[in-house]
Amino acid sequence: MRQIFLDTETTGLSPENGDRIVEIGCVEMVGRRLSGRNKHFYLNPERKSHEEAVRIHGLTDEFLADKPKFAAVADELMEFLAGAEIIIHNAAFDVGFLNEELRRLGRAPLGQQVAQITDSLLMARELYPGKANSLDALCKRLEVDNTSRTFHGALLDAGLLAEVYIRMTRGQNALVIEEEEETVVVEQDIPAIDLTQFTLPVLRASEAECQAHELILGELKKSRTDLAHW
């Protein structure tokens, strides 16, 4: 399945109150390898950005004034996303904004146009309960270089998320379950044997064997005497 790592930057925090998307970044992965196919859009949000938002992503109203509106890129974006698994960090935030933009155009919500939506933040919380799981925190924990992240940028963050995801899920596709060989011990009731019922034969030495035995003993006695005189 195609996987697409997606991130957005916005004018503020609330799509319900009219905040809009100003940037979308998408990074494609196929078979756990980056394909090199990405999508990146700067958008004119048709409204001013909150100062706090500008401090985060650095996209000023002046910079965005001549950029296309979401309606102009919607077809290209949704064609790229169609049928893929979409992986987003804190998916509720980005999906909320995308769904609002799609609603304005009379289109179906994102979840109805893609294979599935995966929230990497929820994955991280399961893997690292009780720890900070922001993208920056995960980059540090998993040794992903994010030194170029002076501002939050949608395409940059989508690329970082792809690296983080690979490291969070490393080994899952190579998991091999080996069956252990079991030693089966079968217990049987074996009756005790009374050895007293057997008569053991006594084998006596022949005359020749007795003479040979005496000869050997004599030679051993002589050897010991010779050693004693050394």
Catalytic residues: 152
Map tokens 């007293």 to a residue.
196
Torsional sign, CA 73, 163, 52, 129: positive
Residue 134 carries which DSSP code? S
Work out the number of other CB atoms within 10 angstroms of the CB of residue 97. Answer: 25
Residue 153 carries which DSSP code? -
- The answer for residues whose C-beta is within 8 angstroms of residue 11's C-beta and 6 or more apart is 19, 20, 22, 45, 47, 48, 49, 50, 53
Q: Which residues pair with 88 in a beta bridge?
A: 119
What is the pairing mode between strands 33-42 and 85-88?
A: unpaired
| Contact present, 63 and 22 (Cβ < 8 Å) | no
